[in-house]
Structure 1
Amino acid sequence: MHQQPVVVAAPVGELDITRLDEVDAMLDSVPPDGRLIVDLSAVQFVDSVTLSRFVRALRRREVAGGRLVLAGAHGAVRRVLAITRLDAVLPYEDDVDSARAYLRALE
């Protein structure tokens, strides 16, 4: 079986309720059976609604055989992932290269 290419989405700034359409479009830009890395290295804030979108996208991908990995979170974003324990639910790597290696290891 030929694996689909890995797509890296790299949002910038604050991901909050005012940007949900953009977040949804980013998460839907890759078919559910595809592989998506969300590079959060240029994101300074993420709200709970956005985090719930990430979880929903992960679940949809799991059902379809796809993958979603978050990467590069730092500062407040990394703390929110840790405090909410979503870093244990959502696959997370320290950077995009590590996320790619994670995806390769699953093949």
Structure 2
Amino acid sequence: IGKWHLGNQDEFYPTRRGFDYFYGLRSGSRSYFYNAKNDDKPGNVRAIEENGKPVKFDGYLTDVFGQKAIDFINAKDDKPFFLFHSFTAPHGPMHATEE
């Protein structure tokens, strides 16, 4: 969940590298808010994807990634699992909510 930042090509996609689930972006940074003009372009490596399919999101991306991680953990049963969660917030662009 979050930024993949380990290669934009399909061969490097997380579910082709041992992960069962991916929600995030292939690149390392992007706007923290959804923008249809940019996000809906075919081949956009900064688009948010869920298991290879572009998805729209509502809200501040840091909050969206955090909630996705919480949902992922809550959906797991008692078996051990590994969650790789990488926020985009450690570097630019610097965006924030009005709060």
Select the structure with the greater relative contact order (CA < 8 A; seq sep ≥ 6).
2
TM-score range, shorter chain: 0.3 to 0.5
Which has the larger Rg? Answer: 2
> Larger helix proportion, structure 1 or 2?
1
Query: Which has the larger share of strand?
Result: 1
TM-score, normalization by structure 2: 0.34
